Amino acid sequence: MFAARLLTLLVALGATAPAGAVAVSTPHAATELVAETTAAAPGSTIWVAVTQTLDRGWHTYWRNPGDAGEPTTIKWTLPDDWRAGDTTWPTPHRLPVGPIMNYGYEGKVTLPVPLQVPASAKTGEVARLTAVVDYLVCAEVCVPGTATVNLSLPVTNGTPTADPVWGPVIADTLAGAPKPAGLTAAYQVTPAGLRLAIAGDTLAGRAARDAYFYPYDETLIDHGKPEVVDRGPRGLTLSMTAGAAFAKGARPAAAVGVLALDGRAYEVSAEPGPFPPGSGGLGPPETSAFPGARLLLAVGGAFLGGLILNLMPCVFPILSMKAAALAGHAGETRRARAQALAFLGGVLTSFLGLAGALMAARAAGAAVGWGFQLQSPMAVALLGLVMLASALNLSGLFEIGTSAQGLGTGLASRSDMLGATFTGVLAVVVAAPCTAPFMGPALGFALTQPTLVALGVFLALGLGFAAPFTLLALSPTMIRALPRPGAWMDLFKKALAFPMYAAAAWLLWVLAQQAGPAGLARMLAASVGLGLAAWLFGLAQRRNTLGSDAGSVAFGAAAGLSLAGAVALVTIGGYGPPAAAAQTAQPAAEGPVSEPWSVSRVAALRAARKPILVNFTAAWCVTCQVNERVALSTPEVAAALKRSGAAYLVGDWTSRDPAIAAALTEQGRIGVPLYLVYPAGGGEPRVLPQLLTPSLVTEALDRAAATS
């Protein structure tokens, strides 16, 4: 009797619970077929889902995988007359790898699919469902996988009950999946690229700081380039780099995809045409190459950043050259003005030259950014020799810009003009490793625009950088206020040599990080050769003054040979990498302990819901090194990291690293420093200012930990 009742109970339970839902484990993924309900009713639609649990640090791909990868596919084997609908894809995550951008999923992913149960399905039978799931799972390497998963569902009359485990999971996935929201959208192709404008009541008042458009078509945009957002009262406009879909004047009938912002996602379909009102789109269709207000903000930010750049540590050595130049022309308003204009010309020419080289390199596919020239050990070595030569000149070992034989005033003036121009050029080269406040967003914007717009932003940066010295030298009142030239100038000039020696020593340290002991030895030998050349050249000048032509020629020839040898040491043979990969120096014992930054490490820490402090730095970035010692290496920050449980990752960009360049681009930046704090609870990182204090960093870490 008891056995019969037990058998009846088991049969009843079997009629209300799915059977055969067994996870299939393959390398780095466990795949399962599950259902929202415990049974299926004839003539109804039920939701089933393929679920995957991925190993930490591994990911699969969305329907559009981006620049690389393959989307997950599902092939069904169903009972007669059962029909499977389209897969519902949850909103993906961005998965940057070096210069490319992929879209996919990490951790756990659920892909719901609707199944139409035929009215002819017989109650009491058990339907066997089979799905063959093909997918690509990747971390640093990619592994293709196939899993065949099964699910048995009893067919019953009435409304089936929800599965207690998978019912809520599938329901939540469907609720959060992208869906239409009554949005109006249009796109335009301008010389600046593809612009997608979206508007609707749903977007009114939304901050949209993390807005991103995921296109269904892999060829619609260049996924690796940033998407720039302009906010409107009822929507937004995204500026993107057009992809192969627009090659040779082609225009897709519609730009279709998913707009993700503020934790929600919406399906968007945009046809070519005028922008909808309230979207923030500016300019007439097809003709506007200038993004209006954003361009004005970028120009203003670049000018202000150039002004502030004069206060950055990188530029301090060059201030001595400016000061010496002004002091030498106190009371000579006309000559001071000529020098100011020459300095301005040198600054603008250098900024535009750097901008052109930067844009050309990025257009050719190189992952470079602001200060890229100092990622070359040879460039660092040559600049170090220039700094050393300038210091030796200020110390009086030899003279430039004067004529011991008293040549005409015109030649002396021309030499002064050339000297002022060179000072402007050198100031820009030395200032390039620094990124002042307001500069980063402005330059990041510039590199997404047409060439003329980008050069305009860099021109504004140069004007801001040159403005203080130029305006001072152009002001007769300020010039007259300077002390008159006299014997004090020689002492002042020699004192100003020491910031230049400090700059040469700093560049020597940078080279040691890049090229190791062998590169350092070559640079030290070249420095000795340069010093010998400067001394011999000075002897030649003095003997020429005394009328000893033969001695002057001999010493001059020896100086030329010594200089040639010094330059040859740093230019012939190249520099190999140091024996160990260059890493940012670890802080002192009381400071925080760091680990190298990588895309996969960030993904793993975010999956573990840990707050993260990321420091993108470089040995040649003086601002970075100042922040390291003033803020990041302090006991206060170390205590905050320990208290918050945050990981501290350092991305060292001393030498070229495409992955770091891509990460900077993703944040709309082209140079270091860049400091990011990822909250434990997920979401976009907080970007810290470029000048840090311990309290600012600790407050950001405490806030990030509080979001878990």
Is 257 a residue whose pLDDT tops 90? yes
Quick one: pLDDT at residue 153? 94
Most confident range (mean pLDDT) of 11-25, 405-419, 471-485, 608-622 is 608-622
- Mean pLDDT, residues 630-638: 91
Quick one: pLDDT at residue 503? 77
Quick one: pLDDT at residue 383? 77
Is 63 a residue whose pLDDT tops 60? yes
Establish if 1 belongs to a structural domain: no
> Looking at the structure, do residues 348 and 457 belong to the same domain, yes or no?
yes
Quick one: pLDDT at residue 135? 96
**CA–CA separation, 610 and 704 (whole Å):** 9
Establish if 134 belongs to a structural domain: yes
DSSP state of 201: G
In this prediction, residue 600 has a pLDDT band, given cuts at 50, 70 and 90, of confident
Q: What is the CATH number of the domain that holds 84?
A: 2.60.40.10
> Looking at the structure, do residues 103 and 149 belong to the same domain, yes or no?
yes
Q: What is the count of structural domains for the chain?
A: 4
> Looking at the structure, do residues 439 and 514 belong to the same domain, yes or no?
yes
Is 142 a residue whose pLDDT tops 50? yes
Return contacts of 298-302, CB within 8 angstroms, 24+ apart. Answer: 298/441, 298/442, 298/445, 298/446, 298/457, 299/442, 299/456, 299/457, 299/460, 300/460, 301/438, 301/439, 301/441, 301/442, 302/438, 302/439, 302/442, 302/443, 302/446, 302/457, 302/458, 302/460, 302/461, 302/464
Q: At what angle do helices 488-495 and 497-545 cross, to 10 degrees?
A: 130
DSSP state of 249: G
In this prediction, residue 583 has a pLDDT band, given cuts at 50, 70 and 90, of very low
- Mean pLDDT, residues 68-77: 95
> Looking at the structure, do residues 561 and 663 belong to the same domain, yes or no?
no
Q: What is the distance, to the nearest Å, from the Cα of residue 398 to the centroid of all Cα atoms in its chain? A: 44
Quick one: pLDDT at residue 550? 53
Establish if 256 belongs to a structural domain: yes
Lookup: tokens for 453 = 């717009």
> Looking at the structure, do residues 149 and 48 belong to the same domain, yes or no?
yes
Quick one: pLDDT at residue 384? 81
> Domain boundary residue among 151, 176, 201?
176
Range of the domain at 269: 184-289
> Looking at the structure, do residues 359 and 211 belong to the same domain, yes or no?
no
Q: At what angle do helices 439-446 and 451-474 cross, to 10 degrees?
A: 140
Q: Which of 24-38, 96-110, 117-131, 510-524 has the lowest mean pLDDT?
A: 510-524
- 155 neighbors 141 (Cβ within 8 angstroms): no
Task: Calculate the average pLDDT of the chain.
Answer: 79
In this prediction, residue 4 has a pLDDT band, given cuts at 50, 70 and 90, of very low
> Looking at the structure, do residues 552 and 614 belong to the same domain, yes or no?
no
Quick one: pLDDT at residue 290? 43
Quick one: pLDDT at residue 319? 59
In this prediction, residue 62 has a pLDDT band, given cuts at 50, 70 and 90, of very high
What residues contact residue 355 under an 8 Å CB cut-off, 6+ apart? 446, 454, 455, 458
Give 343-387 pLDDT, tens digit per residue: 888 889 888 887 787 777 655 545 556 665 667 788 778 878 887
Give, rounded to a whole angstrom, the gap between the first and last alpha carbons of the chain. Answer: 55
For residue 226, how many other CB atoms are within 10 A of its CB?
21
Establish if 92 belongs to a structural domain: yes
Selected residue with higher pLDDT from 406 and 535: 535
**CA–CA separation, 367 and 358 (whole Å):** 10
Quick one: pLDDT at residue 341? 85
Selected residue with higher pLDDT from 159 and 577: 159
Establish if 99 belongs to a structural domain: yes
DSSP state of 19: B
pTM score of the predicted model: 0.46
Quick one: pLDDT at residue 494? 80
> Looking at the structure, do residues 563 and 642 belong to the same domain, yes or no?
no
> Looking at the structure, do residues 625 and 670 belong to the same domain, yes or no?
yes
Is 408 a residue whose pLDDT tops 90? no
> Strands 595-596, 647-652: parallel, antiparallel or unpaired by DSSP?
parallel
Establish if 590 belongs to a structural domain: no
- Planar angle of CA 428, 429, 433, nearest 5 degrees: 100
- 183 neighbors 42 (Cβ within 8 angstroms): no
**CA–CA separation, 15 and 10 (whole Å):** 9
Give 518-546 pLDDT, tens digit per residue: 788 888 888 888 888 888 888 877 776 55
DSSP 384-411: HHHHHHHHHHHTTSS-SS--TT---HHH
Q: Which helix (H) or strand (E) holds 534?
A: helix 497-545
> Looking at the structure, do residues 399 and 529 belong to the same domain, yes or no?
yes
> Domain boundary residue among 144, 176, 208?
176
Quick one: pLDDT at residue 664? 82
Total residues belonging to the chain:
708
Establish if 317 belongs to a structural domain: yes
Is 55 a residue whose pLDDT tops 60? yes
Report percent pLDDT > 90 for the chain: 33
Report percent pLDDT > 70 for the chain: 74
In this prediction, residue 281 has a pLDDT band, given cuts at 50, 70 and 90, of low
Give 324-348 pLDDT, tens digit per residue: 666 555 556 677 778 778 888 888 9
> Domain boundary residue among 571, 603, 628?
571
Q: Which of 154-163, 396-405, 582-591, 689-698 has the lowest mean pLDDT?
A: 582-591
DSSP state of 632: I
Establish if 87 belongs to a structural domain: yes
Quick one: pLDDT at residue 181? 86
Selected residue with higher pLDDT from 86 and 407: 86
> Looking at the structure, do residues 162 and 201 belong to the same domain, yes or no?
no
Is 579 a residue whose pLDDT tops 80? no
Is 704 a residue whose pLDDT tops 70? yes
DSSP state of 260: E
What residues contact residue 126 under an 8 Å CB cut-off, 6+ apart? 19, 152, 153, 154, 155
Q: What is the CATH number of the domain that holds 619?
A: 3.40.30.10
Is 602 a residue whose pLDDT tops 70? yes
> Looking at the structure, do residues 452 and 555 belong to the same domain, yes or no?
yes
Which is nearest to 97 in space by CA: 655, 582, 657? 657
